[in-house]
Amino acid sequence: MDIKPNTLREKLANGHRAVGTVVYSWSPYAIDVAASAGLDYVRIDTEHAFRRDDMLEQLVRAANMGNIVPIVRIDKGDPYLARKVLEIGAGGIIVPDICTPTEAQAVVQAVKFPPAGGRGYSSMCWSADWGAKAGEEWVLWSNREPMIGIMIESVAAMDALEDILAVDGIDFLLFGPADFSMSLGLGAPRPQDARVLSAIKDTVRAAHKAGKYVSLGVGTNQANIKKHLKLGIDMLEFGNDLGIIRAAWADAKSSAESGA
């Protein structure tokens, strides 16, 4: 694997918005198609699409070969997962349900080499070209280039938002409207609820003040994309592969049955 700048980090640092999607299918072909479409990044989900085998490595490699940044969402509370996904070449990670600055600091501790964190060293991994890129250059690159993200998805997190954002080493926040709706006691995802929209606006405002980015799932509807552009979202996720396929097939079936 080449030691090179993270193109997603560069694009955001230059003041441009980034666009991506989510892969639940665990298909390298979905990664290829996302890259072919010109997307900047792909989020590979391991929180709700559970797999712990070598397939994750294949998806990350497909992304790197296609010049699209692979970001892996891992489970909370398992710091070794963070190290492992970075060793196989992920360009970033996301840890869900961060509610306190202590939890945010634990993420940084897991992903950064000392003195910035406590990540254990081994260059015998694809990220370090199996030892060929071992040493100081790879350590500095590993601490500098991967994008480190956390999810804000509860009322408790909003109460501690400024302190969470003050944690050095966190690059971006992914806001989770579904779980935030649940934390409000709404009983189901309600992304258009006024309290959810207000929390998104507050998150964007606080993140930008702290010099950090905000990511949000915006689907593929043009009006919805434009609405969230106006809110200042920096990283827009265009739905997920399986959801997009299902919606397209359902629309086609409806048209066929109606004779339109």
DSSP string, 11-24: HHHTT--EEEEEE-
User: H or E segment at 116?
Assistant: none
Percent of all residues in the chain with a pLDDT value above 90, rounded to a whole number: 88
Q: Where are the alpha helices (DSSP H) in 210-240?
A: 222-231
- Which residue, among 45, 39, 40, has the nearest Cα to 27 in the 3D structure? 45
- Structure confidence by residue, pLDDT tens digits, 36-79: 999 999 999 998 887 778 899 999 999 999 999 999 999 998 88
Q: Give the pLDDT score at 100.
A: 97
In a domain, 2, yes or no: no
- Residue closest to 68 by CA, chosen among 99, 37, 106, 39: 39
Which pLDDT belongs to residue 51? 75
- Domain assignment of residue 117, yes or no: yes
Name the residue range of residue 13's domain: 7-258
**Structural domain count, the chain:** 1
Cα distance between residue 38 and residue 19, in whole Å:
9
**Arithmetic mean of pLDDT over the chain:** 94
Residue 72 belongs to domain with CATH number: 3.20.20.60
Residue 258 has pLDDT above 90, yes or no: no
Rounded to 5 degrees, φ, ψ at 50 are -80, 125
On the question of pLDDT at 260 being above 60, the answer is no
pLDDT at 53: 81
Q: What is the pLDDT of residues 97-148, one digit of tens each?
A: 999 999 999 999 999 999 999 999 999 999 999 999 888 999 999 999 999 9
- CB-based contacts of 67: which residues, under 8 Å, 6+ apart? 7, 35
The pTM assigned to this predicted structure is 0.93
Residue 1 located in a structural domain: no
Q: Using CA atoms in the order 76, 70, 105, 15, what is the torsion angle rounded to 10 degrees? A: -140
Nearest to 188 by CA among 200, 177, 198: 177
- 241 Cβ neighbours under 8 A, 6+ residues apart: 21, 22, 23, 24, 25, 27, 30, 34
Question: Is 144 among the domain residues?
Answer: yes
